[in-house]
Structure 1
Amino acid sequence: MTEINKIEKKRLALQAKLDGGKTPEDRNHMGQFATPTTLAREILTHGVRLLPASEKIRFFDPGIGTGSFYSALRAVVVAERIESAAGFEIDPHYGKPAKAFWKGTKLNIRLEDFTQAEPEERLKANLLICNPPYVRHHHMDAAKKADLQCRTEKACGVKINGLSGLYCYFMGLSHKWMEQDGIAGWLVPSEFMGVNYGKMLKSYLLDKVTLLQVHRFDPEDVQFTDALVSSAVVWFKNAPPPSNHDVIFSYGGTLTEPALSRKVLASELAHEGKWTRYPQADKATIRVEITLGDLFDIKRGLATGDNSFFIMDRKKIEAYNLPMECFRPVLPGSRYIPSDEIKADKDGLPLIDMQFFLLHTSLSENDIAQRYPTLKAYLDTGRKGERPVAERYLCRSRRPWYAQENRPAAPIICTYMGRSRKGSKPFRFILNHSQATACNGYLMLYPKPLLAHAAAKDPEIMRTVWKFLNGIKVDELLSHGRVYGGGLHKLEPKELRGFPAEGLIARIPEIGALHRQLSLFEKAVI
């Protein structure tokens, strides 16, 4: 074993010891997820190749932890090439032992909050590599966010969205710590590429620096065993972007040997909301005249506040002698729905084995006590125990506390979270003929007047729409959603609303005709 590898083995032992001294909750709160050795060396190897071969390295890591990237740098270049190295660590639990561990080397660790520091000319770097803390916005108070927004805008000229995680601020604040033409490599969650809060960060990457490459790891190959995120490495040069320059988008495999890779014009990226479409997509999203949002009002299913209390099967209702008229049918989880079409009996109940019912009444407790004493007795149990149902967040904000949202049955529902394996679809579109509503494990598609008008004339139109939705290619559907570590895909209502629906016009001419009439009317009003 080489001396470098022996040192890395000792550093890993120190990392494990320090991680063991904190609870997973504490580390999660501070976004502390150490970079694995193999990945760190892969990133440093790639970063060094982006520098001129004769150039000395002035290394900087604003979230250094125990120094995984500095250790990797020492493993991939000769010692003489490292002119200087510096890093910040806010947590003394990691910072003090790391400072002691690297004593006698070129690494200078500052035990400070990087976001509050001002750069010194001698500390500016030509190679900045960082796995910034993955702290979600709700772990930062309003005053902290406002300060970070102000500091970041001053540092890089872009104001970061308040819903952004701490890693977005780290990227913007680091701008002033880089030398002209310096190289930066950021190991970050890929979510910024496809969500609204990422727009400002993408603006920085396109307008303030020269974006070189975005490598997205296969989400099923989780880079951090203790963080459910899909990771990407973003590479850029601290130089104004040249006109019409290309950006390399790569996916899967390694940085050196990705499974997929292609060049995309930066000008194309400026008009593409979902960078996660690349490199699989061969062109930007086509702007269309009609989307699913024109045809459907798409909402998430209802949140009960406590499914185990408000949802029950017929046996439980009968066991408590509860009044059936105070319940309405509700669909079970998708694993209990074997077919993508739910048929109904004459009363509108779904013809499936697992039939459930939702407690649904707006009667006051006094009225319930007079009309339905057994139901009043059951509701009283919701006020007892260590965590009474009535005191939970959703319930205590309702009047009365047991009232439910108004979510009527939808003719089409969609499972909006799932995994895609070997070409299978993570999302299911289900045609619902029943009067059963659905909980928030589903998206509910309610026809807007445009579609409802056409469907009223021909009930088979809804089946045509359903077949169209289930005919969407897997990659097309995934490109409109977002992905998390482990291959977990998610499709938000807004993302589904934006999906192109022009393919339906050929199948349902009435929709095209009505949409053109509506567009002409809207233009006339404007």
Structure 2
Amino acid sequence: MNVTLTESRRVLRQLQLDEAKTKAERNKLGQFATPIALAADIIKYAKTLLPTDPKIRFLDPAFGTGAFYSALLQQFLPSQIVKAVGYEVDSHYGNESIKLWCETSLKLHIADFTQAVPPNSDLAKANLLICNPPYVRHHHLSRVDKVRLQRVTEEIAGIKLSQLASLYCHFLCISDAWMAPDGLAGWLIPTGFMDVNYGQPIKDYLLNRVTLLRIHCFDPTDVQFEDALCTSAMVWFKKALPPANHVVKLTYQGSLIEPKMSLMMSVKSLRQTANWTQFGLVSAGGNSPEQPLKLSDLFTIKRGLATGANRFFVLTSEQVYDYQLPKEFLKPILPSPRFLGVDEIEADPWGNPILENPLFLLSCDLPPDEVKTKYPMLWDYLQRGVKQGIRDRYLCKHRSPWYSQEKRPSSPFLCTYMGRRDTGRGKPFRFILNHSRATATNVYLMLYPLPILAQALLDKPELNKQVWQALNQISDQALMGEGRVYGGGLHKLEPRELGNTLVEKVFDIISI
């Protein structure tokens, strides 16, 4: 068969098949086709890891239309491919793939790989597995599927994944039963497992049960899949226990064949590190990880409050006036960072923030009967929320009463929860100095000083500004190294991640 011609037909059919589905349908099944050039690079790199004249038993557990198989046929002679097996759960793609590759020896199963029975003989198992598994987040998995996948993964790989784990984590672990000893695997997966808690078992598997060869992290601003907002990594390993003193190659940005950055890390170092993406940031920024204090040594860090319906509970002065809402149930609250034009928030004599467009949080702990009797205007406004379905939203219906808010007192220091570097500021995160009594929503992280620091600030209020300035001197690389990054270069920091950030200048200022 003419492989080049078939590849052209495959690309055309891929586009047609994708267009026949909505974006929501493809997202639900995690169907993001591998770009042609990327698939070619992956197979070219695999060729450098294989013997000179290999006898390939190929497996792709999430076949799609066969981007990897097509690249395989272009890189290897037919005599070198002794077996090729694929699985595709969606017949929409699977049936077309069978037609496309009917002249080859490919055996394609239209079935769920996670429920298939692996071969009994090592000679029947794959010695080259290349896969771009479905990126199905746990929200799209049923409770029954989560329990089944968790059980199968533990039986095969000996690790127990969290029920927060995405489907690709299960694919990687379940494939262990399909690989021959010393077989090579290349997985194109999101980088999320490298930084989040649910990814720790995956990292344990890669470090302890197989020989991790290389991880390449693509540039987060160069999204590999146009309609998938995630940053991708290529993970390579051999099915064999790691040798003593084994080192892993970590590469960043650029292409798989020509990365921009490269470093070697021992398995021991990786075992002791929770966040693997930080190595590339540290390498790029040149900052030293040797610092004496973490922010968690000085602050309790919490996400701002989640109202469940900001448009209903966060009100302008005009709305407060129009609806005649009682002031005792209103508290000043900061606008989202994109509408906050200052980094230092001054306060009036009553502690209200001096902002051009002040906002107020509605929260009331009184039972409905008392509100209806004593505060008829507030009651009328709450009925609007009932009619709009606000009361039945997830967070609201789990509060009692539904119009009360979680307690988040104001904090003197805040940090934005997410951001990009390609903004006018050129910084993904901002530290805010708050002199007011305003609280904040969950687009901020709130830093509450621990007792020793709180006492120092109470004794010398002028230190607040110096502490804030010290926070702003924390390098972007240090913050991004602790956080996580998503497609398009969106960086996020959770409270624990911000708490892990190393800092020394605050210590110098307060002279504890």
TM-score range, shorter chain: over 0.9
> Map of 1:313-352 to 2, 5 A cutoff?
313-352=316-355
The 8 Å contact of residues 183 and 239 in structure 2, kept in 1 or not, is answered as: yes
In the aligned structure 2, how far is the partner of 1:353 from the partner of 1:421?
26
SS at match of 1:297: strand
Alignment partners' CA distance in 2, 1:292 and 1:323:
39
SS at 1:58 equivalent: strand
Pair 1:129 & 2:115 matched: no
Q: Secondary structure, in 3 states, of the residue corresponding to 1:278? A: helix
- The number of residue pairs the alignment matches comes to 507
1:20-99 equivalences in 2 (<5 Å): 20-99=19-98
2:287/2:477 contact within 8 Å kept: no
Instruction: Measure, in 1, the Cα distance between the counterparts of 2:87 and 2:152.
Output: 17
Matched residue of 1:414: which SS?
Answer: strand
Q: Contact 2:396 / 2:402 at 8 angstroms: preserved in 1? A: yes
User: 2:471 touches 2:506 (CA, 8 Å); kept in 1?
Assistant: no
**Mapped partners of 2:268, 2:368: distance in 1:** 61
Aligned amino acid, residue 18 of structure 2: D
**Aligned-pair distance for 1:322?**
2.5
Q: Look up the equivalent residue of 2:499 and give its one-letter code.
A: R
Give the CA deviation at 1:354. 1.8
- CA drift of 1:190 comes to 0.5
Partner of residue 18, structure 1? 17
* Alignment match, 2:118: 119
Partner residue of 2:314 out of 288, 311, 314:
311
Deviation sequence 1:161-191 (CA, Å, 0-9, x none): 3321111111111112112221110000001
SS of residue in 1 equivalent to 2:12: helix
SS in 2 for 1:252: strand
Per the alignment, residue 446 of structure 2 pairs with 444
Superposed displacement of residue 227, structure 1: 0.8
- Assess if the C-alpha contact under 8 Å between 1:214 and 1:232 holds in 2: yes
Q: Cα offset for 1:311?
A: 1.6
Give the conservation status (yes or no) of the 8 Å contact 1:349–1:435.
Answer: yes
Q: Structure 1 regions of 5+ residues with no counterpart? A: 511-526
Shift of the alpha carbon at 1:10? 0.8
Task: State whether residues 336 and 354 of structure 1, in contact with CA within 8 Å, keep that contact through their aligned partners in structure 2.
Answer: no
Shift of 1:233: 0.1
Pairwise CA distance, 1:472: 0.7
How far the C-alpha of 1:292 sits from its partner, in A, is: 1.7
Q: How does 1:83-482 map to 2 (within 5 A)?
A: 83-120=82-119, 121=121, 122-281=123-282, 290-384=293-387, 387-421=388-422, 424-482=426-484
Q: Distance in 2 between matches of 1:10 and 1:461?
A: 67
* SS of residue paired to 1:85: strand
Return the letter of the residue paired with 2:295: L
Q: State the match for 1:518 in structure 2.
A: none
What is the TM-score with the length of structure 2 in the denominator?
Answer: 0.94
Provide the secondary structure at the position in 2 that maps to 1:382.
Answer: helix
Task: State the shift of 1:483 in Å.
Answer: 0.5
CA–CA distance in structure 1, aligned partners of residues 247 and 144 of structure 2? 39
CA-to-partner distance for each residue in 1:367-421, whole Å, 9 max, x for gaps?
A: 333433222222222222xx42222222222222211111111111111111123
CA-to-aligned-CA distance 1:245-288 (integer Å, 9 cap, x gap): 22111011101111111111111111011110123435999687
Counterpart of 1:483? 485
* Superposition CA RMSD, Å: 2.0
Distance in 2, Cα, partners of 1:393 & 1:198:
27
Q: In 1, are the aligned partners of 2:281 and 2:480 still within 8 Å (CA)?
A: no
Measured against aligned partners, the alpha-carbon deviations of 1:213-254 in whole angstroms (never above 9, x if no partner) come to: 100000100001111110000011112211112211101110
Give the conservation status (yes or no) of the 8 Å contact 1:424–1:474. no
AA aligned to 1:368 is: V
How far has the Cα of 1:66 moved from its partner?
1.1
- The TM-score with structure 1 as length reference comes to 0.92
Instruction: Measure the CA separation in 2 of the matches of 1:4 and 1:100.
Output: 14
CA contact (8 A) 2:463 2:509 kept: no
Counterpart amino acid of 1:382?
A: G
Moved more, 400-409 or 147-156: 147-156
Letter aligned with residue 467 of structure 1 = Q
* 1:428-462 CA-partner distances (Å, limit 9, x unpaired): 11000011111111111112212212212111233
The whole-number CA distance in structure 2 between the counterparts of 1:306 and 1:248 is 46
Please give the alpha-carbon distance, in whole angstroms, between the structure 2 residues aligned to 1:395 and 1:280.
39
Q: Do the aligned partners of 2:6 and 2:100 also contact (CA within 8 Å) in 1?
A: no
Structure 2 unaligned regions, length at least 5: none
CA distance in 1, matches of 2:141, 2:339: 39
Q: Which has the larger displacement, 173-182 or 316-325?
A: 316-325
